[in-house]
Chain A
Amino acid sequence: MNEIMLLFVVIIPFIGGILIPLIPWKNRKIMCIFIEAVVLVNSVLVWLLLTNRPQESMTLLKFTGNLSVTLHVDGLASVFAGLVASLWPLATLYSFEYMKHEENEKPFFMFYTMTFGVTLGIALSANILSMYFFYELLTLVTTPLVVHTLTREAILAARTYLYYSLGGAAFAFIGMIFIIVYGRSTDFVYGGVLSVAEYPGNVNLLLLIYVLAFMGFGVKAAVCPFNSWLPKAGVAPTPVTALLHAVAVVKSGAFAIMRLTYYSFGTEFLRGTWAQYTVMTITIFTIVYGCSMAVKERHLKRRLAYSTISNLSYILFGVTIMTPLGLVGALAHMICHAVMKICSFFCAGAVMYKTGRSYVYELDGFGRKMPKTFGIFTLSAFALMGVPGLCGFISKFSLANAAVQSGNVLAYVGIAALLISAILTAIYMLTIVMRAFFPRQDFDYETIADVEDPNWMMLVPLSLFCVGMLVIGLHPQPLLTLFETIANGLF
């Protein structure tokens, strides 16, 4: 594959997106087919790229000296790009149905499709400057999606989102400058680029910068105390909350932290320092905090958003173990959580779309009326809890295994946090399942007579996610082998 394809996969969604409001569509159906075609073609191109990897990198812009915006495929990039490319077409299909009863579809789909390109840009960035560039761009193209409904709540949420993201990016910027000044190069090289030996006096400064940059990128990954934008952003339409706020945007933050930790600062430099303990403590705290808030929350989507906060910190916890196995666990949870959470969000979306109900206590008896949706929701709940046989168990096992092998006592505490979080997950997910399937004895099904399962456009993505959860849960070895190769810097 030619490296020019790298440029194409980033640009195609942009062009496709801009065309959506420009073309005068005769009917909605053709527009939908066009959008789906653009997304699908792009996904196929991404997969072709990943399977026949170009060795060269592709420079888009050159600033001065060694500063450039460059794209390149390596192991870590292919995991994230592959994940995004697999989920986007399904989420788009789902959103055609979901957006039917919302206004302003065209700008929505424009930004939705453009985000695909930007996320791929983050995944395929070859150096820290390119990543920063796409990272800022991501904030800009996703803000219109949050503000979409134009209610007061949405505008406030978008404002919070902007402030947090831009503020985080500022910290990340500081980190970037230090990498540019102290690093041998700005490219991502497994093992890090810092030449610490040349600056013996600055170790503590660099560690401090690492923590700052971690927190900066951590804003997108909703690390406590910078998490409050995520539940608020739940006012966006469900396809946005499901795909962007459970996968694309938030995992860009996690992905950036992986790059920062393993490819820029380097784990050799960080492992065993106070910086590692600081960030690990933060992630452990967030794991428990997110779940506790989810238990407290009664709005369905916001509850899932809090659950995302907790699960993102699972990934970051894996990163902060700072061993190759830790990266394996982090990548495994990145993939598994993406599938599980998008699945549960889509179920929540289906409920909101079909019935307009969005609070947990309104879901009494829905299990009988929407058996498919709630069956799938139950499966995703079990997966999130980590029942063996589903994908959540695999990623939890990988994370815990990494923590045990690292011999780090704080990481043992992290395992305990994972399990406390698992029991809290059981509480906040199963109470929903309970209500849906076992309403109180005298429940009158007549009150929800109008409730029914959604159509195939929603059910097909949901069923595919179910298959995904089962396949990864039962036969994860190829995936884990791939991650191990990546985490040893061989791929």
Chain B
Amino acid sequence: MNDTISLLLPIILPIVMGTVLFFMKPMKSRRPVLVYTGISLVATAVLIIPACLTVEKPIVLFYLTKALPVMLKLDGLGRFFLVMVSVVWLLAGFFSFTYMKHEKNEKRYFAFYLITYGVLVGLGCSGNLVTMYAFFEMMTIASFPLVVHNQSREAIMAGLKYLFYSFFGAYMALFGLFFLCRYTNTITFTPGGTLNMELVAGHEGLILLVAGLMILGFSVKAGMFPLHAWLPTAHPVAPAPASAALSGIIVKAGVLAILRVVFYLVGPDFLRGSWVQYMLLTLSLVTVFMGSMLAYREKVLKKRLAYSTVSQLSYILFGIALLNPIGLTGAFLHMAAHAFIKCALFLCAGAIIFRTGITNVDGLTGIGKKMPLTIWCFTIVSLGLIGIPPTGGFVSKWYLATGALDSGTYVFQYLGPIILLVSALLTAGYLLPVTIKGFFPGEDFDYVSLKKCDADAWMAVPLVVLSVLSVLIGMFPGGLVDYLTQIVGTLF
């Protein structure tokens, strides 16, 4: 009973708080809304700690039908996801306290921000496929108002695109759910997979097709080619902290779902060497390259970052597709690193927009003189994303490349690392110009009219914390790697 409460609380609390906030009467000052949101965010994050530490057993809340229990269970992967979500959600939330000053409808924004938090916690705690699917759908719905927040025509079209791509993906996954319910022993997530081999015998082709569809379906959220087009449209139109949360976390929900399907239901052994593995390898590598290329030629900063998300997420998917322990460890590491880094990058972009209104990369000449702290943070996390030691990106890419070389996937074991390197070069190409132009505007730069306008505390602290985290992961990866190796060990 205690376990039930300690797991349910962090899911229900933000959802209830958010709903209450949504229906509250409009207030004159924005202060009460901020205090309310702040308390709710912190309370949820605090409540997650005992849940992560104490709960071990799966909890069945109720049965939808006999075959479909709604089940919560916290395992290693779930805890990892929850911690990642909480860090990003808290920091991006604090950042919005300042940032949302110049947007309308703050109350709605914070309400749905809280609700989405609860839904994400639920997603991390989901113990079986149907529960995860339910939270996955809810996540799309709850995060949608964040995307369309400013209600410009562009935002609404982007929001619709987001919705329909997401539902399309979710329904592809649902197709698989129907079949997995029949061909597995249980739909509870079990490390190593739960396929019922007696039933599967003779239907291997069908199960592979189903697994392939599920992976493709969930990969829509992770922005994998060919269903990535919504991401660069939808992420940049949201308010910057929401883009940060979307690009940092919501896309990872797609990755989490793919992990659950591949390693906890179908099983890596069933997929190894099949066309599904090669499809995922091919598509992820195509996306890595394509995303970087598109980011390189994009001029609008937030769009550039969104394309970069497309590319980086496929690093993670590539790590999953390798289906070996080292590659998977790399995928996990890159999940964490990318969550912090991409969140920080979007927040930097947000700070720049908030202070100067500049959205285009070409307008950023000399920005480092105006906002030194912001651009310093931008530079540090950029180095992390490129993968320069001692930052987080280096460690994860190292594991990914080693994993690829070990994987025995013929051409991909060489092609993979090469593409990763090329993409890293492109990453440098699309991120560093901001730093270079920002700090070295050239001789003819007008220093006289320069005014300093750096981020205030609500903005600066999250930026600094995220930058420090991204470096710490790279400098002291030992503990994290041990923890992840432990998770990975149960899966193979």
Interfacial residues, chain A to chain B (CB-CB below 8 A):
382, 385-389, 394, 397-398, 400-401, 403-405, 415-416, 419-420, 422-423, 426-427, 430-431, 434, 438-441, 474-477, 480
Question: Quick check: B164 and A427 within 8 Å, CB to CB?
Answer: yes
Q: Is the CB of B181 within 8 A of A440?
A: no
In angstroms, Cα B171 to Cα A388, docked, is 12
Cβ A416 vs Cβ B175 within 8 A: yes
Q: Are A430 and B163 in contact (CB under 8 A)?
A: yes
Q: Which of the listed residues B62, B150, B160 has the most CB atoms from chain A within 10 Å of its own CB?
A: B160
Residues of A contacting B90 in the complex (Cβ-Cβ under 8 angstroms): none
Instruction: List 27 A–B pairs whose Cβ atoms lie within 8 Å, in order of A's numbering.
Output: A382-B141, A387-B134, A387-B138, A388-B130, A388-B133, A388-B137, A394-B65, A401-B181, A401-B182, A404-B178, A405-B182, A419-B175, A423-B164, A423-B167, A423-B168, A434-B160, A438-B145, A438-B156, A438-B159, A440-B151, A440-B152, A441-B150, A441-B153, A477-B63, A477-B64, A477-B65, A477-B66
Q: A438 and B153: CB pair below 8 A?
A: no
Distance in Å: Cβ of A443 to nearest Cβ of chain B: 8
Give every chain B residue within 8 A of A430 (Cβ-Cβ): 160, 163
Given A404-B182, A423-B167, 15 additional A-B pairs, CB 8 A: A387-B134, A387-B141, A394-B65, A398-B65, A400-B178, A401-B182, A404-B181, A422-B167, A422-B171, A422-B174, A438-B145, A441-B152, A476-B64, A476-B65, A480-B65
Contact B138 A474 (CB under 8 A): no
Report chain A residues within 8 Å CB of B64.
388, 394, 474, 476-477
State whether the Cβ of B148 lies closer than 8 Å to any Cβ in chain A: yes
A434 touches B159 (CB 8 A): yes
Contact with A along B158-177 (1 / 0, CB 8 A): 01100110011001101100
Closest residue of chain B to A399 (Cβ to Cβ) is B178
Complex partner residue of A397 from B141, B151, B171, B178, CB under 8 angstroms: B178
- Within 8 Å CB of A405, what residues of B? 182
Report the bound CA distance from A474 to B137 in whole Å: 16
Contacts of B62 in A (CB 8 A): 474-475
Q: Does B275 make an interface contact (CB < 8 A)?
A: no
CB under 8 Å from chain A, chain B span 183-241 = none
Docked complex: B422-456 residues within 8 A CB-CB of A:
none
Q: How far is the CB of A423 from chain B (nearest CB, A)?
A: 5
Decide yes or no whether B68 CB sits under 8 A from chain A: yes
Alpha-carbon separation in the docked complex, A389 to B131 (Å):
10
A416–B213 Cα gap in the complex (Å)?
Answer: 11
**Cα A394 to Cα B134 with chains together (Å):** 12
**Contact residues in A for B151 (Cβ distance below 8 Å):** 438-441
Question: Residue of B at shortest CB range from A402?
Answer: B178
Q: Does B179 count as interface, using CB distance less than 8 angstroms?
A: yes
Q: Please give me the residue from chain B that is nearest to A416 by CB atom.
A: B175
Alpha-carbon separation in the docked complex, A441 to B149 (Å)? 10
Question: Are B65 and A404 in contact, with the CB atoms below 8 A?
Answer: no
Mask of B56-83 contacts with A, CB within 8 angstroms, 1/0: 0000001111111000000000000000
| Secondary structure type dominating chain A contacts | helix
Residues of A within 8 A of B174 (CB): 386, 419, 422
Q: Is the CB of B156 within 8 A of A415?
A: no
Q: Is the CB of A397 within 8 A of B68?
A: yes
Q: How far is the CA of A477 from the CA of B133 in the complex (A)?
A: 19
- Chain B interfacial residues counted at CB < 8 A: 34
Nearest-CB residue, chain A, relative to B167: A426
Residues of A within 8 A of B134 (CB): 387-389
Distance, CA A434 to CA B141, complexed state (A) = 12
Residue of A nearest to B169 (CB): A423
Instruction: List the B side residues contacting A389 at CB < 8 Å.
Output: 134
Contacts of B67 in A (CB 8 A): 401
* Other-chain residue from B156, B163, B179 in contact with A404 (beta carbon distance below 8 A): B179
Q: Residues of B contacting A387 with CB < 8 Å?
A: 134, 137-138, 141
**A404 to B209 alpha-carbon distance, docked (Å):** 14
B67, B138, B178 interface centre (most CB from chain A within 10 Å):
B178
| A403–B177 alpha-carbon span in the complex (Å) | 13
* Contact call A426/B141, Cβ cutoff below 8 A: no
Q: Within 8 Å CB of B178, what residues of A? A: 397, 400-401, 403-404, 415
A423 to B148, CA, bound (A): 20
How many angstroms from the CA of A438 to the CA of B145 in the assembled complex? 9
Against A, the Cβ 8 Å flags (1 = close, 0 = not) of B94-126 are 000000000000000000000000000000000
Chain A residue numbers with a CB within 8 Å of B65 are: 394, 397-398, 476-477, 480
Residues of B within 8 A of A440 (CB): 151-153, 156
Question: A415 — which chain B residues lie within 8 A by C-beta?
Answer: 175, 178
Q: Mark B234-258, 1 if CB is under 8 A from A, else 0.
A: 0000000000000000000000000
Distance between Cα atoms of A398 and B134 in the complex (Å) = 16
Chain B residues within an 8 Å CB radius of A480: 65-66
Residue on A with the closest CB to B137?
A387
Residues from chain A with a CB closer than 8 A to the CB of B160 are: 430-431, 434
Considering the complex, give the chain A residue whose CB is closest to the CB of B160. A434
Nearest CB of B to A258, in Å: 21
Closest to B217 in A: A419
Complex interface: chain B residues within 8 A of A416 (CB):
175
Closest Cβ of chain A: how far from B103's Cβ, in Å?
12
Find the B residue at minimum CB distance from A422: B171
Nearest Cβ on chain A to B18's Cβ, whole angstroms: 16
A419 touches B137 (CB 8 A): no
How many angstroms from the CA of A477 to the CA of B68 in the assembled complex? 10
**Which residue in chain B gives the minimum CB-CB distance to A403?**
B178
For the complex, what is the distance from the CA of A386 to the CA of B172, rounded to whole Å?
Answer: 13
Q: Which residues of A contact B130 (CB under 8 A)?
A: 388
Closest to A439 in B: B151
Chain B residues closer than 8 Å to A475, beta-carbon distance: 62
Residues of chain B contacted by A477 (CB below 8 angstroms): 63-66
Residues of A within 8 A of B156 (CB): 434, 438, 440
- Interface contact B138-A419, CB-CB below 8 Å: no
Cβ of A397: which chain B residues have Cβ within 8 Å of it?
A: 65, 68, 178
Cα A127 to Cα B317 with chains together (Å): 60
Q: Chain A: which residue is nearest B134 at the CB level? A: A388
Q: Which residues of B contact A419 (CB under 8 A)?
A: 171-172, 174-175
Q: Kindly list chain A residues whose C-beta atoms are within 8 Å of the C-beta of B175.
A: 415-416, 419
Chain A positions within 8 Å of B182 at CB level: 401, 404-405
Nearest to B172 among chain A residues (CB) is A419
The distance in angstroms between the C-alpha atoms of A386 and B138, with both chains bound, is 12
Q: Whole-angstrom distance between the alpha carbons of A434 and B152 in the complex?
A: 13
Q: With both chains docked as a complex, state the minimum distance between the C-beta of A233 and any C-beta of chain B, in angstroms.
A: 30
Please report the C-alpha to C-alpha distance between residue A282 and residue B235 in the assembled complex, in whole angstroms. 41
Task: Give residues 386-402 of B contacting A (CB, 8 Å).
Answer: none
Contact between A426 and B137, CB atoms less than 8 A apart: no
Taking CB atoms, residues of chain B closer than 8 Å to A404 are 178-179, 181-182
Nearest CB of A to B398, in Å: 40
Q: How far does the Cβ of B137 sit from chain A's closest Cβ, in whole Å?
A: 5
Q: Which partner residue on chain B sits nearest A421 by CB separation?
A: B171
Across the interface, name the chain B residue whose C-beta is closest to A385.
B167
Complexed CA–CA distance, A476 and B70 (Å): 13
Query: What are the residues of chain A within 8 A of B150 when measuring CB–CB?
Result: 441
Note all chain B residues with C-beta closer than 8 A to A400: 178
Tell me the complex Cα distance, A474–B61, Å: 11
Give CA–CA (A374, B71) in the complex, Å.
31
Q: When chains A and B are docked, how far (Å) is the Cα of A441 from the Cα of B152?
A: 5
In the complex with contacts A388-B130, A441-B150, A426-B181 CB distance below 8 A: no
What's the Cα separation between A287 and B164 when bound, in Å? 19
CA distance A480 to B65 in the complex (A): 8
Cα separation A301 to B181 with both chains bound (whole Å): 37
Residues of B within 8 A of A474 (CB): 62, 64
Q: A385 vs B62: C-alpha distance in the bound complex, in angstroms?
A: 22
- Give Cα A423–Cα B174 distance, bound, in whole angstroms: 12
A444 to B379, CA, bound (A): 44
Which residue from chain A places its CB closest to the CB of B150 in the assembled complex? A441
Chain B residue nearest in CB terms to A398: B65
Chain A: which residue is nearest B140 at the CB level? Answer: A387
Closest Cβ–Cβ distance, residue A463 to chain B (whole Å): 16
Determine if A438 and B148 form an interchain contact, defined as CB atoms under 8 angstroms apart.
Answer: yes
Query: In the bound complex, what is the Cα–Cα distance between A434 and B157 (angstroms)?
Result: 10
Report how far A420 CA is from B175 CA in the complex, Å: 10
